[in-house]
Structure 1
Amino acid sequence: MSSQSIEIGSVSIDRNAARRATKLAVIVLCLMMVLQVAVVAVLTVGPQPLRSVNEVPAEPDAAAWDDAPTETVSLDPQQMALPYGGGSVDEVTVQAVTNDTHVAFRMEWEDPTADTEINEPNAYSDAAAIMLRSGSQPPVAMGASGDPVNIWYWRSSWQHSESDPGGDMYSYPHPDNETKPGQAAGNPLSKSSYNRYAQNYYATGYGSLTNAETQPVAANGERTDDGWAVVFQREHDASGQYDAAFEDGEQMYLTYAIWDGDADEVNGEKSLSYQFLTLDTDDGTLSAADSDDGGGNETDGTDGGAVAGVTDSALWLVGAATNWPALLALATVTAWLVSYWRLRE
């Protein structure tokens, strides 16, 4: 028997080739493990922790947001109910922080124009909203009968208008003075001034938007270098009939919408997310929800179906990336056999 080979039954193994093939197989194993870590890092979109802070910030540029985890949410045109339209904003980044008493959500998106005046026809305000429901996932079409949702809404004209934030275009001439029937009737969209810059709404489907009797939500929006950043803030506890309940053990579902005034977006014409995020109020995580809303409302027939399909594919890849033991073993053995065969030639 040669010192350069080992005889195992009728099989002769070249020692030098086997030693070099083993080194190459170890290198392949290490590279596969590095690739696994990289794939998981790239594809994992959640869960992310809801950062606990001493004081929940009201300002979009507060230092508390610097280390808060960020989710990037894709937006699409509203195509579920008339009037269809929107879609001028492709995505919004969202963050969340909490403490023992308050919770806050920050939204940031690109918008090259600041549309803050509605004092003439065809002038529309930039705006943003969060739709929330605790417990079960509601239909994305602003809830449904039996599945009410809570909507927090901010409008740039309420905070940054240099004229009447309720809209001078809704005034009517009068011999003594101009009249503003919206303000006279107490319409929450026609106030002469605002101090919380947000409205708290309930809805049970399109066309059912109702201004809540209680208004516990505050909002603050500021211009960034390339768009808007808006913070919504509220105490955990709220007394309204359909107010989102931030209670331990109750999972919260959230989705987002943006209106671009310069693109004539108003009412149903908006950019919105067809994919919910979930906020687990028990362990404090923010992550992508399942694409099926749990109520038989499939998203495959809308643009949101494409978004959900991409999300499902990403989650499948994440699962594969986190279950690689068999693949690693197969790759290592294959690398050894191929290397040994080539080295013996």
Structure 2
Amino acid sequence: MSSERWGLGPVEIDRNAARRATKLAAVVLCLVMAVQVVIVAVFTLGPHPLQSVTEVPAEPDAQAWDGAPSETLSLDRQQMTTPYGGGSVDNVTVQAVTNDTHVAFRLEWEDPTADTEIDEPDAYSDAAAIMLRSGSKPPVTMGANGDPVNIWYWRSSWQHSDADPGGDMYAYPHPDSETKPGTVAGNPLSQSTHNQYGQNYYATGFGSLTNAETQPVAANGQRTDDGWALVFQREHETAGDYDAVFEDGEQMYLTYAIWNGSADEANGEKSLSYQFLTLDPGDGTLSETDSADDEGANETDTNDSGVVASATTSARWATRAATNWPAAIVLATGAAWLISYWRIRE
């Protein structure tokens, strides 16, 4: 087969082979670009943006939650201190939205029974909590001495009970009438009615839970077809000593706990996430932390930490390589042209 040839200095070029090699190189170019798009999509799905909205919703079924990314965390029984137990809820799905003044988190989990009445012995309420800490990651053990945490807490009995929570169980006889010392003392757990359904607490370890002087947290829980959907909402700025700080440059660590009343879960008996989520108010990402770094991780998590770290390193390397697209395109296209030209010319 005859072919046209032309010289480029001392090099003689086969024009027919060059044209065919150029076509093949164009195909390789398209494939490289497609592969880059796929790799970047696969390895950048982890971090989810904290969606910005005009008005932060207080309702769990608000339309603003429809487009908000979510993270689903596995829950396990509490096994760090007495009373051990819980674990009846397998996982919780979390979403977050924000605007210039407020932030809100939506939690959803499966629970076939609505446990809202605690007016008799052995009756327990469904409940949920978020533990938050700004800056450095706290111990999962409700903080520690010198490492205070902020806890937002909700009980279904506060919002959905048809009776006086606690009934007469905590009443003491008096010559003139019954006395309820918890109610008189202002204990939030003893109130018969609640103006808001979220409570703001501080803790520095197990057994140190303290009701905060400031109560800026609002909560709203509603039944779904499968369980509960709950929204915690708060302004960015508060006056509390240990309130979570939603400011640029202050990464937030969050973890979650769920109580199932019908499973007799109360106090330390709960379904707990040993995995933290991180929230960066600066760039707006909500993502899982590396399980190898989480305190309180179970033995399985510890054994798998090397695999997780290796996979994370590989993902970062692949992402950097794929996103360095100019170099990848030049190298792949040039190599494809040279190899194709050489083979065709033979």
TM-score > 0.5 by shorter chain = yes
Q: Give the 3 Å change call, closer, same or farther, for CA 301–49 of structure 1 in structure 2.
A: closer
Which residue is equivalent to 1:105?
Answer: 105
Which residue is equivalent to 2:268?
Answer: 268
Aligned length: 338
Which residue is equivalent to 1:230?
Answer: 230
Select between 233-242 and 40-49 the one with higher mean Cα deviation: 40-49
Q: Which runs of 5+ in 2 are unaligned?
A: 4-15, 341-346
Select between 151-160 and 277-286 the one with higher mean Cα deviation: 277-286
Does structure 2 retain, via aligned residues, the 8 Å contact 1:197–1:220? yes
Which residue is equivalent to 2:147?
Answer: 147
Select between 90-99 and 178-187 the one with higher mean Cα deviation: 178-187
Q: Distance in 1 between matches of 2:330 and 2:303?
A: 35
Does structure 2 retain, via aligned residues, the 8 Å contact 1:274–1:304? no
Which residue is equivalent to 2:124?
Answer: 124
Q: Distance in 1 between matches of 2:37 and 2:264?
A: 45
Q: Give the 3 Å change call, closer, same or farther, for CA 331–84 of structure 1 in structure 2.
A: farther
Q: Distance in 1 between matches of 2:240 and 2:321?
A: 46
Select between 18-27 and 98-107 the one with higher mean Cα deviation: 18-27
Does structure 2 retain, via aligned residues, the 8 Å contact 1:300–1:306? no
Q: Distance in 2 between matches of 1:272 and 1:310?
A: 23
Which residue is equivalent to 1:59?
Answer: 59
Cα deviation for residue 201 of structure 1 reads: 0.5
Q: Which amino acid aligns with 2:187?
A: N
Cα deviation for residue 160 of structure 1 reads: 0.5
Aligned-pair Cα RMSD in Å: 3.9
Which residue is equivalent to 1:211?
Answer: 211
Q: Give the 3 Å change call, closer, same or farther, for CA 153–311 of structure 1 in structure 2.
A: farther
Cα deviation for residue 212 of structure 1 reads: 0.8
Q: Distance in 1 between matches of 2:272 and 2:221?
A: 18
Q: Give the 3 Å change call, closer, same or farther, for CA 54–301 of structure 1 in structure 2.
A: closer
Does structure 1 retain, via aligned residues, the 8 Å contact 2:125–2:261? yes
Q: Distance in 1 between matches of 2:244 and 2:31?
A: 47
With normalisation by structure 1, the TM-score equals 0.79
Which residue is equivalent to 2:134?
Answer: 134
Superposed, which structure 2 residues align to 1:163-202 within 5 Å? 163-164=163-164, 166-168=165-167, 170-172=169-171, 174=173, 177-202=177-202
Does structure 2 retain, via aligned residues, the 8 Å contact 1:75–1:271? no
Q: Which amino acid aligns with 2:70?
A: E
Which residue is equivalent to 1:317?
Answer: 315
Q: Distance in 2 between matches of 1:112 and 1:278?
A: 30
Q: Distance in 1 between matches of 2:285 and 2:41?
A: 17
Does structure 2 retain, via aligned residues, the 8 Å contact 1:43–1:315? no
Does structure 2 retain, via aligned residues, the 8 Å contact 1:291–1:299? no
Q: Distance in 1 between matches of 2:21 and 2:168?
A: 80
Per-residue CA deviation, residues 316-339 of structure 1 (Å, 9 max, x unaligned), is: 435435535899999999999xx9
Cα deviation for residue 26 of structure 1 reads: 7.8
Which residue is equivalent to 2:73?
Answer: 74
Q: Give the 3 Å change call, closer, same or farther, for CA 187–62 of structure 1 in structure 2.
A: same
**SS class of match (1:199):** strand
Q: Distance in 2 between matches of 1:53 and 1:331?
A: 43
Q: Give the 3 Å change call, closer, same or farther, for CA 39–169 of structure 1 in structure 2.
A: farther
**SS class of match (1:159):** helix
Q: Give the 3 Å change call, closer, same or farther, for CA 321–151 of structure 1 in structure 2.
A: same
**SS class of match (1:168):** coil
Select between 34-43 and 221-230 the one with higher mean Cα deviation: 34-43
Q: Distance in 2 between matches of 1:185 and 1:193?
A: 15
Q: Give the 3 Å change call, closer, same or farther, for CA 310–130 of structure 1 in structure 2.
A: farther
